[in-house]
Structure 1
Amino acid sequence: QLLCDVKTRRDSVYYMIHRLRELHPAIDHYLSSPAQKDLASCKLSDTEWQAMSDCEVILTIPHQVQQVMSQEKNPVLTGAIPAFKMFMTIWKKLGEQNSHLKRWMDLGLKGAMKYYERMDNTKAYVIAMCM
């Protein structure tokens, strides 16, 4: 079963793309059947499947960081800044190692940096880091 986006669930896009890629053979088979000729134009090209793969690679990093933070029995704010820094460092390396992803990584990092700067200006994070 394909998954839908859930705005309140941060990983929903990652899970949607992951599930789509898992079901790639079944989806292609279904869309290739004569009974589905009206939907044949919806079949993704190899380039589009590669783009889905790239998106999954990109989203795997924040997904893994979020999973680590969620595994703690009592998640604490002190782990947020180091986890966020780790996520940004890995994204930067991913862009450097994959030139075709660099544009997207830089765009994502720009947004992440704005969020990180807001964290710097929030007293709760500063207090948590001193504890």
Structure 2
Amino acid sequence: MSISVDTKPEFYHQAIKPSHWRDVMSAEIAALENNYTWTITSLPPDKNLIGCKWVYKIKYHADGSIERYKAKLVAKDYTQIEGLDYSKTFSPVAKIAIIRTLLAIAAVKGLHLTQLDVNNAFVHGDLSVKST
């Protein structure tokens, strides 16, 4: 097992020093801006301010070498009040039983599977599948 000297930062002031963390944070901000994730506006007097924080992760290859660095800007949702700051949540998760079933069907039918790694995903409305 490979031991890496790279450690993930816990705080922004630690991450801003190495260029690889600055690069992934810049890419995250660019993705948020390109997807019009927010609009800068004045805070209404009857609303609560929700802060945000950076979450850092290092992804590794099977041999222990570094595959990539990841940084996500996330809301401090533990400060939100249901009904005031949000009304619905949406977080689809694939269950392991579904994954196993899918793999079993693919194996039996001799199907080819391909992995897709989504860098940024934003749901703004209904999703539809287009046939090719």
- TM-score bucket (shorter structure): under 0.3
TM-score (norm 2): 0.26
User: Between Structure 1 and Structure 2, which shows a larger proportion of helix residues?
Assistant: 1
Higher relative contact order (CA 8 A, sep 6+): 2
TM-score (norm 1): 0.26
User: Between Structure 1 and Structure 2, which shows a larger proportion of strand residues?
Assistant: 2
